[in-house]
């Protein structure tokens, strides 16, 4: 393996000899057996815990959500026909429809404008983000509200 973790938590790059200080950021390593085809997105750990604990989402809603996250466009837009999702996951289109409805009810997906025959959706940025961090911060600010006269 190229990197070695040192006792102080920093990482040694064995190829260059450089010591990477963890305080400068978080390092994510993708095993070489995983091939990244097209892109990436950031996910938030507390959101994953929330999703895992919500029994209403177990099964097909989670499978549909994972599939949709694999197809995110920048700024979290998703434009897929339910038939494509149904075909790819080998489930009935009605099951996909129910799963998407549940994800919208839970606030995980947000319904967007119609594109052709289908609606588009957007992944709530509290769950993950694909795009520029500046845009993520702007999206998150839109979701803040004043509580009891406090500050947002």
pLDDT digits (tens, 9 = 90+) for 46-63: 998 999 999 999 999 999
Distance CA 85, CA 92 (A): 9
Confidence (pLDDT) at 148: 64
Residue ranges of domains in the chain, CATH in brackets: 1-31 (no CATH), 42-129 (1.10.10.10)
Confidence (pLDDT) at 82: 92
pTM above 0.85, yes or no: no
Q: What is the rounded average pLDDT for all residues in the chain? A: 82
The predicted-structure confidence for 81-112, as pLDDT tens digits, reads as follows 999 999 999 999 999 999 999 999 999 999 98
Question: How many CB atoms within 10 Å of residue 109?
Answer: 24
Burial of 132 (0-12, 13-18, 19+ CB in 10 A): exposed
- Name the CA radius of gyration of the chain, rounded: 19
Distance CA 8, CA 5 (A): 8
Burial 62-82 (b: 16+ CB within 10 A, else e): ebbbebbbeebeebbbbbbeb
> Which range, of 19-23, 24-28, 116-120, averages the lowest pLDDT?
24-28
Confidence (pLDDT) at 52: 93
Q: Which long-range contacts (CB under 8 A, 24 or more apart) does 103-107 make?
A: 103/57, 103/61, 103/64, 103/65, 106/54, 106/56, 106/57
The CA-based diameter of the chain, rounded to the nearest angstrom, is: 57
């Amino acid at each position: 393996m190229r990197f070695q973790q040192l006792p102080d938590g920093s990482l040694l790059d064995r190829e260059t000899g450089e010591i990477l200080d963890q305080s400068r950021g978080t390092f994510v390593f993708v095993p070489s057996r995983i091939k990244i085809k097209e892109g990436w997105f950031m996910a938030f750990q507390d959101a994953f815990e929330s999703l895992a604990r919500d029994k209403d989402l177990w099964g097909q809603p989670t499978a549909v959500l994972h599939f949709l996250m694999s197809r995110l466009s920048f700024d979290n837009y998703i434009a897929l026909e339910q038939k494509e999702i149904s075909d790819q996951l080998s489930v009935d289109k009605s099951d996909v429809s129910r799963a998407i409805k549940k994800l919208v009810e839970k606030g995980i997906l947000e319904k967007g404008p119609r594109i052709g025959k289908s609606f588009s959706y957007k992944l709530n940025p509290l769950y993950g983000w694909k795009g520029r961090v500046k845009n993520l911060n702007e999206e998150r600010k839109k979701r803040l509200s004043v509580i009891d006269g406090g500050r947002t």
